[in-house]
A and B are shown apart, each in its own frame.
Chain A
């Protein structure tokens, strides 16, 4: 028995972004900006990934805060675990293989590139 988060399109986007640099730590706002997903969507996904132990998290140390300091609150950093990165790759591949034969109607996504050209 394994525990896997559901591979929604948004989850896939978060995982794909995290897998660009699997060993790098990132914080919530970075993921929000990189994927363009709303904060309220990204956090439940991150939580699910953490529950599945695909990612781990930690609070920023005071010494790290001091580097760019500026008196902001500490950040919560997230990072893919080694097993998590492997599971994420497999899950993404499985999600692609399992989906219906008909292609996803990407044309209905907004903004549509064709519309602006």
Chain B
């Protein structure tokens, strides 16, 4: 599809509003990360990444039906990002500072994101070929608004979060002997010239993961991925014309 076949409001939304909202989300996430709260919003960030990817796919669509499909999928992921963000902000354990100070704002944002989700769903069900592009523009707009709402909640969470207090759990900690040994074992299958580099790098990641579960997951993933890594390092990149 050429640009001239895309209605301007839809193109603006997909090419500018959504990417800008995604940038805002990641900027707020960075601030939250500095406050040691990143793990609360990891799920939301995955949905945001998917929404961004689908908005790009919509822009590169071959025809209007495909563009509408990708747009509504982007809207679904954007709405889901807003929902899980608000859920994270609500913090049922009540231990987060924003639970006390921002209840009203967050409730409003939660309602707004839920309304956007419903709107995206309703619009999806009522899409017709004739009105496809107009409806897709509405859906894209809802996606942009949901991502903006996500960014707003994250900014609020970051603003109300105290600076990260260094705790024993947060402090980088030396991996146990078994974990270090398994990391070196994974690196041992790599070509000799790369072993030291990747052993150091993978071991370094183990230091930075705060929970035992995350460290175990990382370790298993490294072990499972080491043969593939060895293959990639040994096999030169395929040349294409």
Can you spell out 25 A-B residue pairs with CB atoms less than 8 angstroms apart? A1-B239, A1-B240, A20-B23, A32-B218, A34-B49, A35-B46, A36-B45, A36-B46, A39-B205, A40-B224, A43-B225, A43-B229, A47-B233, A48-B237, A51-B237, A72-B207, A73-B203, A73-B207, A96-B60, A101-B62, A103-B66, A104-B57, A106-B54, A113-B76, A116-B83
B172 in contact (CB, < 8 A): yes
Contact B201 A117 (CB under 8 A): no
Contact B57 A40 (CB under 8 A): no
Q: Interface digits, A1-37 against B, CB 8 Å rule (1 contact, 0 not)?
A: 1111110000011001100110000001100111110
Contact A73 B22 (CB under 8 A): no
Contact A41 B56 (CB under 8 A): no
Contact A40 B229 (CB under 8 A): yes
Binding site for A on B (CB under 8 A): 22-23, 26, 38, 42, 45-47, 49-50, 52-54, 56-57, 60, 62-63, 66, 69-70, 73, 76-77, 79-80, 83, 117, 121, 166, 171-172, 197-198, 200-205, 207-209, 217-218, 221-226, 228-229, 231-233, 236-241
Contact flag A33-B38 (CB < 8 Å), given A44-B232, A96-B56, A113-B79: yes
Contact A39 B77 (CB under 8 A): no
The minimal Cβ–Cβ distance linking A65 to chain B, given in whole angstroms, is 11
Q: Residue A28 contacts which of B201, B232, B236 (CB distance < 8 angstroms)?
A: B201
Contact A35 B80 (CB under 8 A): no
The interface size bin for chain A is 35 or more
Q: Residue A13 contacts which of B53, B117, B197, B231 (CB distance < 8 angstroms)?
A: B53
Contact A97 B232 (CB under 8 A): no
Q: Residue A92 contacts which of B45, B56, B63 (CB distance < 8 angstroms)?
A: B56
Contact flag A39-B218 (CB < 8 Å), given A16-B56, A103-B66: yes
Contact flag A73-B26 (CB < 8 Å), given A3-B240, A12-B53, A38-B221: no
Contact flag A97-B60 (CB < 8 Å), given A3-B240, A36-B42, A70-B172: yes
CA distance A52 to B53 in the complex (A): 23
User: Which residues on A sit within 8 Å (CB–CB) of B239?
Assistant: 1-3
The minimal Cβ–Cβ distance linking A86 to chain B, given in whole angstroms, is 16
The minimal Cβ–Cβ distance linking B118 to chain A, given in whole angstroms, is 9
User: Which residues on B sit within 8 Å (CB–CB) of A62?
Assistant: none
Contact A113 B77 (CB under 8 A): yes
With both beta carbons as reference points, the residue of chain A lying nearest to B76 in the complex is identified as: A113
Contact B79 A40 (CB under 8 A): no
Contact B225 A41 (CB under 8 A): yes
With both beta carbons as reference points, the residue of chain B lying nearest to A48 in the complex is identified as: B232
A67 in contact (CB, < 8 A): no
User: Which residues on A sit within 8 Å (CB–CB) of B50?
Assistant: 109
User: Which residues on B sit within 8 Å (CB–CB) of A48?
Assistant: 232, 237
